[in-house]
Structure 1
Amino acid sequence: MTATDPTYLGRVSAVSGSTITIKLAESLSSGLAMIDGHTYRVGQVGSFIRIPLGYQDLYGVVAEIGANAAPQAAALAEVDTGRWMRVELAGEAIGEHFERGLSQHPNVDDAVHIVTQKDLRRIYGGEEEDQVEIGTLSSAENIVVRLALDALVTRHSAIVGSTGSGKSTTVASLLRSIVRTAENVASSGARVLLLDVHGEYSAALGDLAKTFSSSPSPGEEPLFVPYWALEAGELLDFVAGALSDNHLIAFTDKIQELKERRLAAGALPGLDPQSLTVDSPVPFSLNQLWYDLIDFETTTFTGPLRDQPAREAAGNPATLTAPRYTPHAMGTAGPFLNQAAKGIRRPLNLLRSRLLDRRYDFILHPGHWEPDLVGQTAQDLDTLLAGWLGHDRPITILDLSGVPSAVLVQLIGSILRIVYEALYWSREKTEGGILRPLLVVMEEAHRYVSPDSGNVAADIVKRIAKEGRKYGVGAMLVSQRPSEIDETVLSQCGTLIALRLSNPADRSRVKGALPDNLSGLMDLLPVLRTGETIISGEAARLPVRCRVTLPSADHLPRSSDPEVSAAWRTRRIAEGYDRMVASWRAQRTTAVVRDVAIQRTAIDENEQ
């Protein structure tokens, strides 16, 4: 092609790996070009270029423009013109087939051309079954941007952006696109688990999702996480606090004993009594655990051999009433203390306090999954997992907004462990992770996956990030502070969807995690519009600046900013602060001071 071609930009001046330097043509007198009735901006950071090589076309992304992009060996007079461009090569096309990666490199003096809408359709126009629509190109709004669903889920992804940049809307839009691949919701085989920390998504995805909440509103299911499905260390860390090695052994030995009693009362499918461990998901009673241990700690003895318990009242484990013994006495008359006591009164008092605290009922008194004193439960874990993952809607929302902050991180870790362990061990089954993959969306990921957190949630997220691909469990991290996410986890996210980021530390972490060498493109992060993203990685055919498609107004997340000016212009209408206090005490936004009984009668339209 000649320099008279309207798409002509310039020629290759230097090639270094995937980076090429382009000397712009002198004929480009302005930053605009008119081609086939469409106006194109020339030399925009983030725009695409095309280099024809016979039957093959190479495509790249503009990373830098101006004198700084010039080769270091260039003459000073040439550098002063500023007519240089640095481009990162990203993919190639033969015919209509485009793929990432390069099979060859351009030569010096090869012609470089503007990418037109025809080329963009060549790159993004495919409508294969594994492609989901997310939005449109910022530079050409009639070109739809599609992401590869397989790579998006199995290779993990991260959505990052400052507060107000449109993260929640992007998540809602993306999830709608994912489940829209089926003809209707009922026939969708998608399986998405969304950990909703702020309660934003019930309104946005209510028609596609089943919602579980620790403080359910009408139409939502109560959220229960059986404590006995957790590993013993996780459970004891929550209910008994930090324990020394000797104290930990006292608790774990008793838990093992109670689980053995449960198996003796009736077998559980798939569990060999010889393989039972303290971490096996076998029901046992925390009330009985507390009672047996406090009984041993407070026992006093009488008799010549000091072996007769001096019990005055038996107590009751169901009501957490401790047995009462005759207080020990000084001297040789007795009663005498139990010399084998472990000294665990303090953690036992904390355990009792946790069991009596109604805020933790969703985990310590888990409804149909709460064991009686011998460990029998009305329902097993299969119904719990079926409720979370086996219903007729493609999305499950776990609304954690009502969970006390003191236990939130541990609860998230527990949920993820239950789900991941179940899918890991059922990978040969039809509902396992390989034959029916699961996407786990983790809102506010920086709260529990920070580099120094060392909590159970961080451990299981790291495990999913490293191993989940093999077992059909994909992760999508959503965060406004990517600098606070563990670098190992972020580096495992093959697709990065970056919205506006103002903090330099956050931008630096995103640049370091990019799978493509596109630092110049990432410099656009502070000036992106709300809902505009830069997408790079496995799921994107080329790194792209994209405008996310907004859901309809009634499907937006409850995360929009309050309209201060409108609210303050409106005259205040006092509704009574007793309602405010009622909601505070009930830990439920819909709580009322008193129920109002309204008698409703049907209206006969035929009556005059």
Structure 2
Amino acid sequence: MTAPTFLGRVGSIAGSTVSVRQSESVASGIAIIAGRSYRVAQVGSFVRIPQGYHDLYGVISEVGAQATPEAFADARQRGESWMTVQLVGEIVETSFERGISQYPGVNDEVHLVTEDDLGRIYGALDAGQITIGRLAGAESIPVRIDLDRLVTRHSAVLGSTGSGKSTTVSSLLRSICKAADGKLSLSARILLLDIHGEYGDALKSVARVFRVNPSKDEQPLHIPYWALDPETLLDFLMGPMSEAAYTGVLEKIQAAKLSVASGVPGVDVNALTINTPLPFSLKQLWYELVDPEYKTWADKERTKPALDEAGDPTTLKPPKYQVPGVGSAAPFINQTNVLGIRRQLTQLRSRLLDRQYDFMLHPGSWEPGLDGKSEKDLPELLEAWFGHDKPITVLDLSGVPSQVLLRLIGGILNITYEALFWGRNLPEGGRSRPELVVMEEAHRYLGKDLDNPARAMVQRIVKEGRKFGVGAMIVSQRPSEIDETILSQCGTLIALRLSNSADQTRVRAALPDSLGGLVETLPVLRTGEAIIMGEAARLPIRCRINLPPDGERPNSEDPKVTEVWAATRVGEDYGRLAAAWRSQDPKWGQVKKPEKV
């Protein structure tokens, strides 16, 4: 009597590809084994090939006529059914290993993989495994992945719009935050860059949320300009400059940092560089640069300024000098410390006065006074992001202007990586408390044709971060647009529904196993269903991701067009709409009464 798990026998072997002649007693559909339901002979299902003291495991990649070996083509007329299986690993004694040490023989039995088999493959839950969903072919079986490899070897979550990508990320992060006993892992450390403001409400019970315009239970987002890379900062604030002018401005910044460096822990004034993260006043810098550009002198010896009205760096009021005389007549033009950057200084002043950049250029307690000293410094910033009592930090960047978004993401990643890299041997550093950086909408700033600070920093993280406790999770709906170097370093791929052929090709190229048939299922995956493959998954697996409970899902659902358009219109206030636009705050009308606009 054949076992209830029996599917058929091996017909031919070619490398890691095995053709299986399906038993006549087996029909594609649902099998009930030991009270559990399994999908039989379907693409993505697992099979087991017993080999005496150990078992080989594979994934069905093709079923039907295309799976029939050419040498057995006439079998179609005899009514035989075939399956193509890709071998992926084996169990020797009690441990599962990727790859195979021997091949099956012709006529070896092929069996359906049961829950007991998967238990042997995945091991115990407390061995670094986290449960993220259910097996698509047998939804009574939990799917587990290796947390250590997910974080340290980097990962990518890929899926078209509407495939359930945001919900999957939210569910993944909640699973990561839970220890084996189901309680919250208070020492977990995750930084989520939320481009569209989808995750603040979904993760508020396990996260501290920072927003440009915070609502209740949220923190104001402050990213001090002086903690960013000076070259990137000046490019945004002042635009293109000549080499001499650029050098002159950097020298001013370095001198300003040097003036506050004395006594700061870890700072050697003799080794201070322009990149040392120390506070300095942008207002004072602007004033010191703008004064020589407009200064005139009342005498030829240039000892008496022809000043009509003094300026004020606090209010960004420029000084007023008398207009230079014609020819050799007084007043005389200033020729000292002139960099020829009037246009750039006008742009700098405009940026400082623009309220939409306050989170960066006027960062609350982190904004230095004219003397370069600030109430809060770098330690308070790092503690605010990484030292609070929640496992997740959400930086909601939905209120950040697009003109500065790419530079800002690069700056955030630079702050994160440099701090954890240089403090790697400390209890607060990356090796003692690793950090997972989750980057939503990654194709917007990690494009293969984009040359920006964000892409350069992510390349560094995926190449070097594993050694220093910094892991990356790339989330994107267009994997074909992401830099190949970055995507190739992601050891684990979680691929949801992908309809675009270029995106499917990129996933297929990144597969660690030759599972082309499995990739062909990407366009027909259900919402919230994913193929998981790579370092964190013992086997490439088709998984139904656990849904977060109601009220804890991202704000990314499509509007209910039919329902809303058919409803009776309520009173509308377009003054409130204009106020929300002007305030750059989508929650404006929810937190205060609309004022007259």
Amino acid at match of 1:372: G
Q: How does 1:174-185 map to 2 (within 5 A)?
A: 174-181=172-179
Are the structure 2 counterparts of residues 388 and 315 from structure 1 closer, same or farther at C-alpha, using a change threshold of 3 Å?
same
Deviations 1:517-548 (A, max 9, x none): 21210111111111111111111111111111
Contact 1:260-1:273 at 8 Å conserved across structures: yes
CA distance in 1, matches of 2:37, 2:213: 54
Q: What is the aligned partner in structure 2 of residue 511 from structure 1?
A: 508
Within the candidate set 446, 449, 456, 1:449 is matched to: 446
1:15 paired residue number: 13
Aligned counterpart in structure 2 of residue 364 of structure 1, from 361, 366, 371? 361
Change (3 A) 1:572 1:285: same
Residue of 591, 599, 607 corresponding to 2:588: 591
| Percentage of pairs with the same residue | 56
CA–CA distance in structure 2, aligned partners of residues 126 and 178 of structure 1: 16
Q: Is 2:333 the counterpart of 1:337?
A: yes
Counterpart of 1:522, as a letter, is V
| CA 1:14–1:335: 2 relative to 1, 3 Å | farther
Alignment partner, residue 294 of structure 2: 298
- Determine which of 525, 528, 533 is the counterpart of 2:530: 533
* Cα distance, 1:593–1:136 mapped onto 2, change above 3 Å: closer
Q: Distance in 2 between matches of 1:483 and 1:520?
A: 20
Amino acid at match of 2:399: G
* Contact residue 161 and residue 480 of structure 1 kept, 8 A: yes
Structure 2 unaligned regions, length at least 5: none
**Distance in 1 of aligned mates of 2:42 and 2:111:** 13
Match for residue 551 of structure 2 among 554, 557, 563: 554
Q: Tell me, yes or no, if structure 1 residue 376 matches structure 2 residue 379.
A: no
Tell me how far apart the structure 2 counterparts of residues 450 and 352 of structure 1 sit (CA, whole Å).
32
TM superposition shift of 1:459: 0.8
Matched, 1:429 2:426: yes
> Partner of 2:467 in structure 1?
470
CA, structure 1 residues 593+178, in 2 after alignment: closer, same or farther (shift >3 Å)?
closer
Give the alignment of 1:244-393 within 5 angstroms.
244-263=242-261, 266-306=262-302, 308-339=304-335, 341-393=338-390
Structure 1 position 182, deviation (Å): 6.5
Q: CA deviation at 1:582?
A: 1.9
Residue in 2 aligned with 1:172?
Answer: 170
Pair 569,428 (structure 1): closer, same or farther in 2 beyond 3 Å: same
Q: Write the deviation string for residues 183-211 of structure 1: whole angstroms up to 9, x where unpaired.
A: 67676211111111111112111111111
Q: Is the 8 A contact 2:294 2:334 kept in 1?
A: yes
The verdict on how the C-alpha distance between 1:383 and 1:38 changes in structure 2, with shifts beyond 3 A counting, is closer
Which residue in the other structure is 1:440 paired with?
Answer: 437
- 1:566 Cα offset (Å): 1.7
- Give the Cα–Cα distance (whole angstroms) in 2 for the partners of residues 594 and 114 of structure 1: 57
Cα distance, 1:439–1:323 mapped onto 2, change above 3 Å:
same
Mapped to 1, the partners of 2:294 and 2:575 lie a distance apart of 45
1:601 aligns with: none
The more displaced of 444-453 and 563-572 is 563-572
Checking the alignment, whether the CA contact within 8 Å between 1:197 and 1:401 is kept in structure 2 is yes
- Which residue is equivalent to 2:399? 402
Which range moved further: 323-332 or 74-83?
A: 74-83
Q: Is the 8 A contact 2:126 2:180 kept in 1?
A: no
Matches of 1:452 and 1:509 in 2, distance apart? 16
Asked whether the 8 Å contact 2:28–2:39 carries over to 1, the reply is: no
Work out which of the residue numbers 140, 146, 155 in structure 2 matches 1:148.
Answer: 146
Give the Cα–Cα distance (whole angstroms) in 2 for the partners of residues 593 and 149 of structure 1: 39
Q: Judging changes above 3 Å, is the alpha-carbon distance between structure 1 residues 46 and 426 closer, same or farther for their aligned structure 2 residues?
A: same
- Number of residue equivalences: 592
> In 2, are the aligned partners of 1:135 and 1:546 still within 8 Å (CA)?
yes
From 188, 193, 199, the counterpart of 1:195: 193
Deviation per residue, 1:188-244 (Å, 9 max, x gap): 211111111111112111111111111111111101011111111111011112333
Q: Could you list the per-position Cα deviations for residues 558-590 of structure 1 after superposition, in whole angstroms to 9, with x for gaps in the alignment?
A: 111121222122211113222222222222233
Q: Map Cα deviations across residues 325-346 of structure 1 (whole Å, 9 max, x no partner).
A: 2211221223232345221111
Gaps spanning 5+ residues in structure 1: where?
A: 598-608
Superposition pairs of residues 68-83 of structure 1, within 5 angstroms: 68-72=66-70, 74-78=71-75, 83=81
In the alignment, which residue of structure 2 is the partner of 1:101? 99
Query: Which residue in 2 is equivalent to 1:602?
Result: none
Instruction: Write the mapping of 1:570-589 to structure 2, written as runs, cut at 5 A.
Output: 570-589=567-586
Q: CA deviation at 1:125?
A: 5.7
TM-score (norm 1): 0.92
Judge conservation of contact 2:37–2:140 (CA < 8 Å) in 1: no
| Cα RMSD for the two superposed structures | 2.3
Tell whether the 8 Å contact from 2:90 to 2:100 is kept in structure 1 after alignment: yes
Structure 2 residue 119 is the aligned partner of structure 1 residue 121: yes
Letter in 1 for 2:332: F
Distance 2:322 2:76 in 1: 95
Q: 1:595, 1:496 → 2: CA distance?
A: 43
Distance 2:557 2:142 in 1: 26
Alignment of 1:522 with 2:524, yes or no, is no
2:205 corresponds to which letter in structure 1? D
Aligned pair partner of 1:482 in 461, 466, 479? 479
What secondary structure, in the 3-state scheme, does the structure 1 residue paired with 2:587 have?
coil
CA–CA distance in 2 between the matches of 1:91 and 1:548? Answer: 24
Structure 1 stretch displaced more, 389-398 or 588-597:
588-597
> One-letter code of the match for 1:260?
L
Check conservation: 1:368, 1:379, Cα contact below 8 A.
yes
Query: Does the 8 A contact of 1:62 with 1:86 survive in 2?
Result: yes
1:37 and 1:391, CA in 2 relative to 1: closer, same or farther beyond 3 A?
A: closer
Counterpart code for 2:40? V
**Contact 2:185 2:391 survives alignment (8 Å):** no
Match of 1:44?
A: 42
Q: Specify the SS of the correspondent of 1:259.
A: helix
Shift of residue 302, structure 1, vs aligned partner: 4.2
Q: 1:97 to 1:185 in 2, by over 3 A?
A: closer
Separation in structure 2 between the aligned mates of residue 29 and residue 361 of structure 1, nearest angstrom: 66
